[in-house]
A and B are shown apart, each in its own frame.
Chain A
Amino acid sequence: MSQSIRKEILIPQPREQVWQAITTRAALAEWMYPNDFEARVGHRFTFQVPPNPKVGFEGLMVRCEVLECQPPTRLAFSWSVGGPVVNTRVSFRLETEGKGTRLHFEHSGFDLSQPHSEQAIHGARFGWAKMLEQLQVLVTGPGTDLD
């Protein structure tokens, strides 16, 4: 159902290279955030989303734990930030396709079951929208090289 986010992309690089990019600290730091990742089930790590005073963003820590790690095909980790986004699951599945790789991405497990009033939901929604809007600025701001 619509409670998860799914993406499927075809990447021209071979699977081993994509696997490196999603399982090494330096690579993750480049396309995600600074982290202390290790490719080992049970390893707990964080992504440190840096503050950006220009947009009034105070920074954020995402707490994660490696749930699945089967080189070079499957990686999954938990993703906790707070509120309804606790113990959500982020997963990557890599399939060789021709000379490239098909990446199946999913972020699932958003908890909409917490007993919350409508206000709380709208509050959370606003909070998230605001935070992510700021992240958007960080991501697309000067210094990055989106094609």
Chain B
Amino acid sequence: MVMTSSRKPDVFAAISHRGRRQMLDLLNQDESSVSVIAAHFDMCRPAVSQHLRVLRDAGLVTERRYGRERRYRLVPEQLSPVRDWLAPYERFWDDHLQRLQNHLSRGGKK
């Protein structure tokens, strides 16, 4: 069964699972139904639904009903805490790759 947590749903926890990250990648391309998503995974449909629920609770996807079908859509803005978390590293590498280019433009010599 799903563990119900007293903690606030957390984006980091939601994307800590590899399958869920792959689901987000899929949904990044297009809105999809559970069955379309499930076709990409080696797990039963209820398990897929459960993972989608975790993503929904974290606000990473929204769910809409079309008749008997539920479709999921990515909410990319919700990933911003992850981007923020990586931002310092992003700047770190921007700087260092710039230094690499400076080093090369000096002919590789000081």
Contact = CB atoms under 8 A, between A and B. Distances in A.
Interface of A: 1-3, 5, 7, 9, 11-13, 17-18, 20-22, 27, 30-32, 103, 105, 107, 110, 112-114, 116-118, 121, 125, 128-129, 131-133, 135-136, 139-140, 144-147
A118 B8 CA distance: 9
B8 A18 contact: no
Contacts of B79: 1-2
A7 B97 contact: yes
Chain B at the A interface: SS class: helix
11 contacts: A1-B25, A1-B79, A2-B83, A9-B97, A17-B104, A27-B103, A105-B93, A116-B12, A132-B91, A139-B99, A140-B95
Interface of B: 7-8, 10, 12, 15-17, 21, 24-25, 28, 79, 82-86, 88-105, 108, 110
A31 B82 contact: no
Given A1-B21, A132-B88, A139-B99, A27 B108 contact: yes
Contacts of B99: 30-32, 139, 144, 146
Contacts of A9: 97, 101
Contacts of B98: 146-147
A118 B58 CA distance: 13
B100 A3 contact: no
